[in-house]
């Protein structure tokens, strides 16, 4: 990885050149392009994400201040804000979607044995969405309300490693439940969702696919109790029942029994009612599976705070999706690097360290090791004691 390369180049070296070229050729990204290729576009945008640049002008100024280093970063030619803006507007955003999917498959293979806090061998996914507010005057194509624009990021997160395996970008007014139509369900896997995804016709698709869902029941659920199973009230589980839907329309869409679990969280005192089509796992395990859904909320918080997806460099639909997918690529690259270097540091720490060392010509693992040594030595030194 190193071989005398800059820190930023060491990170982007994790992308296989031929795989990237295939993504570009699939959508003719470099068709009639003379100088500023898709690879140059990706490097400039990824640099902006890694070093927390606020705008394309910011990216241009920063890179042009180090002209002697551009070649070593992998960038060929002059970096121009207008050319980069044109590329974001014209180059197909699906190039970077496909690249992200390649990186995601690689990252998931690295994190496949990571624990999720439960004795469960099956894959567990958390599904949720987050809304990103936009200015209606600048993004009229993303109208959300009368005086507001927004987009939604629908994300399916693998809880092993917190790797996003599926992301769909829609307008803010799209109902969350519609994203279930886009999922390719994995037999045997668990999908944890909030009650915004309760649609019995779509939930029955999980049964047909051999997958399991865990969601919260709506307050107006009409059901008939078929059986009540014994529970241990000290665990927080209040009831564990087999039920049958009572509403004729619901029965038509979901002609099978369900499991309803009433759980009271000891920490918050909140009463929760879960629905699932899994009848084998203990009731407490189902409740803890739902509790793991908070990881997707942390993922949204992380990318909003530490990557550039709330403030966009371009205003077109294509530019917005390009920036989102390149930010996902950077997130997954950091996750891959963390695993390959066996680093105990958080992704946030690694991002901050790389952002201020992007132009350094030193192995990344050495930079992290030096910092760990400094922290260890600093923690053991004597402190000055002030007396009053």
Q: What is the pLDDT of residues 127-168, one digit of tens each?
A: 999 999 999 999 999 999 888 999 999 999 999 999 999 999
> pTM, whole model, 2 decimals?
0.91
Q: What is the pLDDT of residues 30-44, one digit of tens each?
A: 998 888 999 999 999
Q: What is the chain's mean pLDDT, rounded? A: 91
- Looking at residue 251, what is its pLDDT? 94
- Looking at residue 375, what is its pLDDT? 61
Q: What is the pLDDT of residues 228-264, one digit of tens each?
A: 999 999 999 999 999 999 999 999 999 999 999 999 9
Mean pLDDT on 77-99: 94
Query: Using CB atoms within 10 A of its CB, is residue 130 exposed (0-12), middle (13-18) or buried (19+)?
Result: middle
Q: What is the pLDDT of residues 315-338, one digit of tens each?
A: 999 999 999 999 999 999 999 999
**Using CA atoms, how far apart are residues 219 and 206, in angstroms rounded to an integer?**
22
Residue with tokens 């995601």: 104
User: Given pLDDT bands bounded at 50, 70 and 90, which one contains residue 380?
Assistant: very low
- Looking at residue 119, what is its pLDDT? 83
Would you state the structure tokens that stand for residue 99, as one six-digit string? 């690249």
Would you say residue 373 has pLDDT above 70?
Answer: no
Q: Report yes or no: 322 and 367 within 8 Å, Cβ to Cβ.
A: no
DSSP letter string over 65-82?
Answer: T-GGGHHHHT--S---HH
User: Given pLDDT bands bounded at 50, 70 and 90, which one contains residue 385?
Assistant: very low
Would you say residue 381 has pLDDT above 50?
Answer: no
């Amino acid at each position: 990885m190193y071989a005398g390369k800059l820190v930023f180049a060491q990170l982007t070296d994790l992308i296989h050149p031929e795989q990237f070229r295939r993504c570009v050729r699939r959508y003719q990204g470099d068709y009639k392009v003379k100088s500023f290729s898709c690879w140059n576009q990706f490097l400039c945008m990824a640099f902006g994400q890694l070093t927390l640049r606020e705008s394309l002008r910011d990216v241009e100024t920063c890179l042009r201040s180090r002209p002697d280093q551009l070649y070593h970063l992998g960038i060929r030619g002059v970096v121009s804000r207008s050319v980069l803006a044109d590329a974001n507007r014209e180059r197909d955003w699906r190039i970077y979607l496909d690249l992200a999917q390649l990186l995601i498959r690689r990252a998931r293979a690295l994190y496949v044995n990571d624990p999720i806090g439960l004795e469960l061998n099956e894959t567990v996914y958390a599904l949720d969405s987050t809304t990103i507010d936009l200015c209606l005057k600048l993004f009229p194509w993303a109208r959300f309300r009368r005086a507001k624009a927004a987009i939604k990021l629908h994300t399916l997160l693998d809880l092993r490693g917190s790797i996003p395996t599926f992301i769909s970008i829609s307008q803010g007014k799209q109902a969350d439940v519609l994203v279930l139509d886009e999922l390719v369900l994995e037999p045997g896997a668990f999908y944890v969702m909030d009650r915004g995804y309760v649609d019995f016709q779509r939930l029955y698709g999980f049964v047909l696919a051999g997958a399991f869902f865990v969601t919260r029941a709506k307050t107006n659920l009409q059901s008939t109790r078929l059986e009540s199973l014994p529970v241990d009230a000290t665990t927080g589980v209040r009831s564990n029942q087999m039920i049958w839907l009572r509403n004729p329309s619901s029965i038509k869409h979901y002609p099978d029994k369900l499991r309803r679990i009433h759980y009271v969280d000891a920490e918050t005192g909140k009463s929760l009612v879960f629905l699932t089509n899994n009848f084998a796992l203990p009731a407490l395990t189902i409740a803890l599976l739902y509790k793991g859904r908070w990881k997707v909320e942390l993922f949204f918080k992380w990318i909003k705070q530490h990557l550039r997806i709330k403030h966009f460099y371009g205003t077109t639909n294509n530019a917005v999706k390009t920036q989102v997918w390149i930010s996902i690529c950077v997130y997954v690259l950091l996750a891959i690097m963390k695993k390959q270097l066996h680093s105990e540091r958080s992704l946030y720490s690694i991002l901050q360290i790389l952002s201020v060392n992007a132009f350094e010509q030193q192995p990344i693992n050495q930079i992290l090791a030096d910092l760990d040594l400094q922290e260890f030595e600093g923690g053991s030194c004597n402190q000055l004691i002030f007396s009053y």
